[in-house]
């Protein structure tokens, strides 16, 4: 059986053997189960993390968006870049603080940026630098 050429708009397939996916269009069976549990509102903490990882994997964050002409060229590159943009936006939303994302002022007490712990007398000299 001949493999289909890679196209970013092909449907995502689920690997029954739970092996590492070969492309961003494949996910593990456990990832699919985690996505289904998340959609049903019954996912535990591990399943929630697995589902988010699967979504970011499908977005192709770690794949180059550019594709040579034998793999679809400019049209496929544009589609892959769109998928990556969605992944980057999700990653931004989960990694930045709400005050940065909303532009609201932060009235909380100062904290040490390196450790995230509240600033105390030991950190005052470092905070001024």
What pLDDT is recorded for position 1? 44
Structure tokens at 83: 């998928």
Find the range with the poorest average confidence among 2-6, 23-27, 58-62.
2-6
Domain range enclosing 76: 13-95
pLDDT at 62 over 90: no
Q: Distances from the Cα of 28 to the Cαs of 32, 53, 79, in angstroms? A: 7, 11, 23
Instruction: For residue range 34-49, list pLDDT tens digits in order.
Output: 999 999 999 999 999 9
DSSP string, 10-68: SPPEEETT-PPPSSTTEEEHHHHHHHHHHHHT---HHHHHHHHHHHHHHTTTTS-S---
Instruction: For residue range 68-106, list pLDDT tens digits in order.
Output: 777 677 888 888 888 899 999 999 999 988 888 887 776
At residue 5 the predicted structure's pLDDT band, cuts being 50, 70 and 90, is low
3-state secondary structure of 111: strand
- Asked if residue 49 is part of any domain, the answer here is yes
- Asked if residue 83 is part of any domain, the answer here is yes
Task: Specify the number of domains making up the chain.
Answer: 1
**Contact (CB, 8 A) for 59 and 84:** yes
What pLDDT is recorded for position 128? 55
- Asked if residue 121 is part of any domain, the answer here is no
Report the mean per-residue pLDDT for the chain: 81
pLDDT at 13 over 80: yes
Structure tokens at 128: 């001024």
> Whole-model pTM?
0.67
- Asked if residue 21 is part of any domain, the answer here is yes
- Asked if residue 32 is part of any domain, the answer here is yes
- Asked if residue 122 is part of any domain, the answer here is no
- Asked if residue 120 is part of any domain, the answer here is no
Classify burial at 107, counting beta carbons within 10 Å of its beta carbon; exposed 0-12, middle 13-18, buried 19 or more: exposed
């Amino acid at each position: 059986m001949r493999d289909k050429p890679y196209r970013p708009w092909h449907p995502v397939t689920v690997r029954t053997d739970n092996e590492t996916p070969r492309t961003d269009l494949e996910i593990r069976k456990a990832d699919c189960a985690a996505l289904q549990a998340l959609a049903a509102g019954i996912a535990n903490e591990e399943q929630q993390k697995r589902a988010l990882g699967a979504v970011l994997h499908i977005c192709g964050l770690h794949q180059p968006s550019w594709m040579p002409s034998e793999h679809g060229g400019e049209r496929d590159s544009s589609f892959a870049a769109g998928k990556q943009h969605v992944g980057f936006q999700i990653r931004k939303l989960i990694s930045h603080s709400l005050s940065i994302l909303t532009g609201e002022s932060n009235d909380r007490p100062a904290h040490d940026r390196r450790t995230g712990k509240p600033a105390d007398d030991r950190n005052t000299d470092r905070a001024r630098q």
